[in-house]
Structure 1
Amino acid sequence: MNLRQKLHSGEIAYGLTLTIGTPQIAELVANLGFDWIWIETEHTTMSLDTILAQLQAISGTGTKAVVRVDCNDQTTIKRVLDTGPDGILIPSVNSLEDAEKAIKFTKYPPLGERGIGLARAQGYGLKLASYIKSANDEVATIFMIEHILAVQNIHEILQVEGLDGVIIGALDLAGSMNLQNDLSNPLIEIEVQKVLAACKKAGIACGAFVGDPNQAKARIQEGFRLLTLGADVLLLASSAKNVLDSVKKA
C-alpha cells in the first residue's frame, strides 16, 4: 500500500520528522517501523542533493518519504518531486487559490501542469512512461494548515481535487493569532478542532505533530490519522539529557 492509499484508507500513519539531513539517520529511522518520514526543508539548510541521498537511503525499507518544501512554488515543487519522494508537503496553503496552485504544480496533466523530467523519480528515463501514468495516483499531496486564514477557508481548500491530507501547524497557527507567547491558550485548540471537523466531513486525512505518547493517543482518539511523533533533534536531545542526568544522579 502506498502512502496515498493509506491516507485514504482511514488507517493511522505514524511518522517522524527529520531535520539533520544525513542518509544514515534517514536509513536508521526507516528501519524502525515508521510508516512515513517527514524530510524537513522549510526550516533547514537541506539541498536537493541532501534530499536525494536520504530518499536513496530510505528506498526499499517499506517506510514512505514525504518532503516538505519551503514554499508553494512551481520550480521548487517540480525539482523536489523529481527526486522521487512518496509525497510532498506544501506549507502555507491559506486559500482556495493557494490550494489550486499547489495541485497544479504537483500533478501531471490533465489534473495539473507538472513538467516532465528524466530524474530519479522517472528512473532517469528508464521508467518514464510508467511513472507519468502512475504518479498522480501514487504520490501524495499534503497541505500544511498553519494560519488562521487557512482555518477560515478550510472547507474550500479541502474540496480541491487531488488533495490527500492536511497537517495542522499549530505553532504557526498560534503566531497568526498573535498567541505565539501563549501556546497553551485554548483559543488555538478551538481552531485546530475546526480543521479536524472539516477534514472528517470531507473525508480527508488530518495530521498533527505530537510531542509525546499521551498526546499521540489523545489525538488518535479525536480522529487524527496522520501523525509525526516528534523530530530527530528533539528525540536526540531528550535522550542525551536523560542519560546525562541519570549518570550525574548516580
Structure 2
Amino acid sequence: MERNEADERAPLIQNERNSSASSYTGDVQDSDVTQVTISPIGPDELPPPYTPSPHGGVPMVTCRVCKSMIDITGKKEQHVVKCNNCNEATPIKNAPPGKKYVRCPCNCLLICKATSQRIACPRPNCKRIINLAQSPITPPPSHVPGMCRISCGHCQRIFLFNTLNNALARCPHCRKVSTAGSEFARRRGFICLLLAMMFLVISLGVTVGTYKIAQRSGGMYVLYVGCFLVFAIFFIRSIYYFSMRISTVEGMA
C-alpha cells in the first residue's frame, strides 16, 4: 500500500473532557490488516445540539452507538461527549476546521484530516485500515431569491437564511435569534418606539382629559392602566430590537 500521509497520533479533541479515550487519528502505514470502506460522518448525520429531556428539561443527546441518552449538562461547548453506557464517543458539533469524523466498524470514533483517504484504527484489538469513501455531494439548490449565507452574531457559524422573509434569523447551530444585517432590527425598533410614543401621548391625554370622571368612576383607571401597559410593551420591544445581536450577511447562497 502507498502511504498517503504521515502518521498522526493525537486525542480526538485535545483538551476536551469526557471524550472517548480510544478516539485517535491515524493515517495509514503499510500493514497487513483488515481493510474496510466507510463514509465519513457528515454534518447532516450529527445529532441536534441537544434534546430537552421530558423530565426536568435536562439537555440530552442520543448515543450514536447504543442509543442511550447522554446528559450533556455543562458539555454543550464540547465537540464530542462520552456515553456512560458503552464508553463510546458521540459528536455533537461539526469537526474542527480541516478535520472530519469517521466511525470505525469497532465503534471507535476517529478524527482525521479532511483530505485523508485512508486511516488506521488505533485500537489494539482492531487495527483496521479504513478506506474513506467520498462524501456524497449534494447538488446545490436552485437559486432562491434573497437566500444568503449568514455568519451568526452569537456563535459566528455560517447558515443559510432568506433575507426576504422579513423575520429574525434563528441560528440552527446555537438556536439563538439575531438580525440578518442591522436594517431589519433598526426599522422594527423605530416602528415600536414610534408606537410607544404614540400610546404615551394618548395615555397622557386620556388621563388629563378624564381625571375628573375617574374621581367619580373607578372604571377609568382600568383604561389608564391599559394605555400605559401598551406603551410599556412597545417601548420594551423597541429596546429589544435596538440591542439585538447583528449577524453578518456573507453573500448570496
TM-score scaled to structure 2, two decimals? 0.25
Larger RCO (CA within 8 A; separation ≥ 6): 1
Give 1 or 2 for the bigger CA radius of gyration.
Answer: 2
Higher strand share: 2
TM-score scaled to structure 1, two decimals? 0.25
Higher helix share: 1
